[in-house]
Amino acid sequence: MEIILLNETHAEDYWSLRLEMLKQSPESFGSSYEEALKRKNPIERIAERLSYEGSFTFGCFSGNQLVGTVTMVREEGLKMNHKASIYAMYVTPSHRGKGLARGLMEAAVNLAKKTNGIEQLLITVVTTNQTARGLYHSCGFKPYGTEKRALKQNGEYFDEELMVLFL
């Protein structure tokens, strides 16, 4: 298994995994599979995002297959660029339980620590996702609140725990 920082050449691989994550874990992401399919030029948009300054997406490969990702995005505003957020953490089900999610999180946290001016990382997690919550807690993230009814899917609400890691 290899964890690398993705770039625009990985756009197609990322798109395939993005569709999988939205289909496999719809309650865990703000976007939906249906919305993703309607986007125009998704590969081009992803390529742009993967090369955007201030946004860093790590990917975990098993051979030539992208099996996990995590994205860290630094805030742009002058008063907020001491913060970055973690998004789109996902490992394909067949590769879970092998430490890949921890490796991806460690890559993002280590990059944040090395990036001048980033002082804290923020992440949200659906409160029913005990595995992800446990991972984030074990990586040093601390809860600071809960957003009630943060997501709504098929008439069901999901709360999100808000967490921070002070670097």
pLDDT of residue 73: 96
pLDDT of residue 17: 95
pLDDT of residue 83: 97
Angle between helices 42-50 and 11-24 (to 10 degrees): 110
pLDDT tens-digit map of 42-73: 899 999 999 888 999 999 999 999 999 999 99
pLDDT at 40 over 90: no
Instruction: Determine the structural domain holding residue 58 and report its residue range.
Output: 2-166
Question: In residues, how long is the chain?
Answer: 167
Q: How many domains does the chain have?
A: 1
pLDDT tens-digit map of 98-156: 999 999 999 999 999 999 999 999 999 999 999 999 999 999 999 999 999 999 988 99
pLDDT of residue 38: 87
pLDDT of residue 18: 94
pLDDT of residue 100: 96
Which amino acid, residue 119? E
pLDDT tens-digit map of 69-93: 999 999 999 999 999 999 999 999 9
pTM recorded for the entire structure: 0.92
Sheet holding 65-74, edge to edge: 2-5, 55-62, 65-74, 83-91, 120-126, 156-166, 142-153
pLDDT of residue 14: 95
pLDDT at 12 over 90: yes
CATH of the domain at 74: 3.40.630.30
pLDDT at 32 over 90: no
Q: Tokens standing for 165?
A: 């890691």
